[in-house]
């Protein structure tokens, strides 16, 4: 048994818990849209073709924003293909995923789906093969109130009320060689700046996201952010960050510490954005939209992406089947996002259904929860109020990727209104439990509401349609609050949530 101690104080506030931390992503990729969220004829589908079983799971997951329509897909997308009478919409080659795009689901369908799911849209525009004019057109179509062409066209298409989308991503991963229309930082930064200025001439109060690096391992990481922001600092609110993690060579210890990379990523981008602000003598701060993050087993050597003359509609692509260990890493990445709530103002787990996703569906059949569903749903449901800075005193362990990592990582939230304190913690030890202790004196009289742990004897256990309920987050009976101190045993490779109540500010 290892031992770790947490120290928290209600005055050590990082910032508010943001609902935007619990965003996700729907891309026209594989079966995320078709037979994922949208499947006319499915037994649970409504009259718009939205799968009711998936809608129920999206609500249970607690999703806030949904980024759409890509991803790599958006860099070759003509948004006009997805509007108007369905029978008139063209079939197109989707070069990003070597698929055929039927365009039976487009902007208006997506906006209707956000209403049905109680989520908010975060739209991405094509700055790969297209540019300023097409962006202004889709903005007017989406939000226009008057009688001008695109606003009138939307009404002609049966959508009287403007969608009022305020959150827009200026392209996707424009630093990546795989991206259609990839650009240098200067080229992209100029285009983002010009596009943003045009958009703000129409609607000054939009929230605009510039593309940051596709990963902290990109050769241009750091330089990209600096050069892009030197071009568009005044016009944008946020810069994006993307990160995917997976076990490499069976090295579980390194994998469990993946959040360390995310911590570094956020700190590095914040510092770079601030250095641009300083050079510009500006007090403005550009914050981070971590709009793609997850565990992803994308196999670069044998990708599932079709080749040659095979251009299927909605093939099963990137359908990862996640383990408990993957879920522990996902829980830890959420801990990192919360801990950086002062700089990360928005985040999107990539993606929502089937492709790299917490929800899996069968065409015509069931929808079910992957392991990674659980830490997301519980964090989204219970992180409330403010994020507190947590000092973690824990032993460290050696690993190949980071050298040394703490065995325990944690964050706490504090809702002054209800008095509830919630601690989210992971034990990265691969063999042993860790006894976690927390002195609650600074928080007043607290009692245990519940302690829930997600773990399994076999950390590589994976859920299937028929076994999804076999391993679930379960009450942790070891948790006690005695003499103003919490003690709880965290099993090896586990994620836990401990809720305490009764404190008042």
CB of 328 to ligand AHR, least distance (A): 21
When asked if residue 350 is in the footprint of ligand AHR (CB under 6 A), the reply is yes
When asked if residue 94 is in the footprint of ligand AHR (CB under 6 A), the reply is no
Taking CB under 6 A as the criterion, the residue among 23, 70, 82, 189 binding ligand AHR is 70
CB of 248 to ligand AHR, least distance (A): 18
- Cα(99)–Cα(133) distance, rounded to whole angstroms? 27
Query: Considering only CA atoms, which of 451, 452, 421, 447 is closest in space to residue 7?
Result: 421
Q: Cα angle at 488 between 485 and 489, to 5 degrees?
A: 150
- Cα(139)–Cα(148) distance, rounded to whole angstroms? 12
CB of 10 to ligand AHR, least distance (A): 38
- Cα(385)–Cα(60) distance, rounded to whole angstroms? 20
When asked if residue 76 is in the footprint of ligand AHR (CB under 6 A), the reply is no
When asked if residue 72 is in the footprint of ligand AHR (CB under 6 A), the reply is yes
When asked if residue 75 is in the footprint of ligand AHR (CB under 6 A), the reply is no
Taking CB under 6 A as the criterion, the residue among 20, 36, 49, 71 binding ligand AHR is 71
Span of 12-20, 68-76, 142-150, 497-505 interacting with ligand AHR by CB under 6 A: 68-76
* Closer residue to ligand AHR (CB): 111 or 350: 350
Within residues 263-302, the interface with ligand AHR by CB under 6 A covers 292
Total of chain residues touching ligand AHR, rule CB under 6 A: 11
Length of the chain: 505
If residue 449 lies in a helix (H) or strand (E), which one and from where to where? strand 447-454
* Closer residue to ligand AHR (CB): 67 or 339: 67
Q: Is 501 helix (H, G, I), strand (E, B) or coil?
A: strand
Q: Is 281 helix (H, G, I), strand (E, B) or coil?
A: coil
Q: What phi and psi, each to the nearest 5 degrees, are found at residue 280?
A: -90, 5
- The residue of the chain with the least Cβ separation from ligand AHR equals 71
What would the x/- binding string for ligand AHR be over residues 445 to 474, using CB under 6 A? ------------------------------
- Cα(175)–Cα(210) distance, rounded to whole angstroms? 12
* Closer residue to ligand AHR (CB): 258 or 351: 351
DSSP letter (8 states) at residue 216:
T
Place of tokens 């810069």: 239
Burial category of 284 from C-beta neighbours within 10 Å (exposed 0-12, middle 13-18, buried 19 and up): exposed
When asked if residue 126 is in the footprint of ligand AHR (CB under 6 A), the reply is no
Q: Active-site positions?
A: 173, 292
Span of 10-18, 349-357, 372-380, 422-430 interacting with ligand AHR by CB under 6 A: 349-357
DSSP-derived pairing of the beta strands 434-439 and 485-490: antiparallel
When asked if residue 173 is in the footprint of ligand AHR (CB under 6 A), the reply is yes
Query: Considering only CA atoms, which of 268, 348, 401 is closest in space to residue 18?
Result: 348
When asked if residue 356 is in the footprint of ligand AHR (CB under 6 A), the reply is yes
Residue 359: strand pairing partners: 353, 369
Residues near ligand AHR, by CB under 6 A: 27, 70-72, 172-173, 214, 292, 350-351, 356
């Amino acid at each position: 048994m290892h031992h770790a101690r947490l120290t928290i104080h209600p005055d050590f506030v990082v910032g508010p818990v943001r609902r935007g931390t619990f965003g996700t992503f729907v891309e026209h990729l594989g079966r995320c849209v078709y037979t994922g969220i949208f499947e006319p004829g499915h037994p649970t589908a409504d009259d718009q073709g939205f799968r009711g079983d998936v809608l129920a799971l999206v609500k249970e997951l607690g999703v806030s924003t949904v980024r759409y329509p890509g991803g790599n897909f958006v860099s070759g997308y003509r948004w006009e293909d997805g509007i108007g009478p369905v029978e008139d919409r063209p079939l197109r080659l989707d070069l990003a995923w070597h698929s055929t795009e039927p365009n039976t689901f487009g902007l208006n369908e997506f906006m209707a789906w956000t209403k049905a799911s109680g989520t908010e849209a975060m739209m991405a525009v094509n700055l790969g093969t297209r540019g300023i004019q097409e962006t202004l057109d889709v903005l007017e179509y989406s939000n226009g109130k008057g009688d001008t062409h695109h606003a009138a066209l939307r009404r002609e298409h049966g959508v009287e009320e403007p969608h009022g989308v305020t959150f827009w991503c200026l392209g996707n991963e424009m630093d990546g060689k795989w991206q259609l229309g990839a650009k240098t930082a200067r080229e992209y930064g100029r285009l983002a700046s010009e596009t943003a200025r045009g958009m703000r001439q129409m609607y000054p109060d939009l929230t605009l996201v510039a593309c940051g690096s596709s990963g902290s391992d990109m050769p241009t990481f750091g330089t990209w952010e600096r050069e892009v922001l030197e071009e568009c600092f005044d016009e944008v609110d946020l810069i994006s960050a993307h990160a995917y993690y997976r076990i490499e060579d069976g090295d579980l210890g390194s994998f469990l510490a993946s959040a360390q990379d995310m911590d570094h990523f956020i700190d590095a981008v914040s510092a770079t954005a601030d250095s641009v602000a300083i050079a510009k003598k500006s007090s403005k701060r550009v914050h981070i939209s971590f709009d793609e993050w997850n565990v992803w087993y994308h196999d670069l050597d044998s990708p599932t992406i079709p080749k040659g003359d095979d251009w299927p509609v909605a093939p099963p692509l990137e359908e990862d089947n996640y383990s408990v260990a993957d879920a522990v890493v996902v829980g830890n990445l959420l801990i990192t996002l919360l801990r950086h709530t002062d700089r990360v103002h928005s985040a999107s787990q990539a993606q929502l259904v089937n492709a790299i996703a917490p929800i899996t569906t069968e065409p015509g059949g069931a929808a079910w929860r992957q392991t990674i569903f659980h830490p997301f749903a519980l964090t989204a449901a219970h992180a409330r109020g403010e994020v507190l800075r947590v000092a973690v005193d824990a032993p460290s362990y050696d690993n190949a990727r980071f050298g040394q990592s703490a065995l325990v990582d944690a964050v706490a939230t504090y809702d002054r209104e209800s008095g509830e304190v919630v601690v989210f913690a992971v034990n990265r030890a691969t063999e042993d439990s860790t006894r976690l202790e927390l002195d609650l004196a600074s928080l007043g009289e607290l009692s245990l509401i519940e302690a829930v742990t997600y773990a399994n004897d076999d950390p590589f256990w994976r859920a299937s349609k028929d076994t999804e309920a076999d391993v679930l987050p379960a009450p942790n009976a070891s948790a006690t609050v005695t003499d103003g101190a919490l003690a709880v045993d965290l099993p090896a490779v586990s994620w836990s949530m401990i809720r305490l109540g009764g404190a008042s500010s």
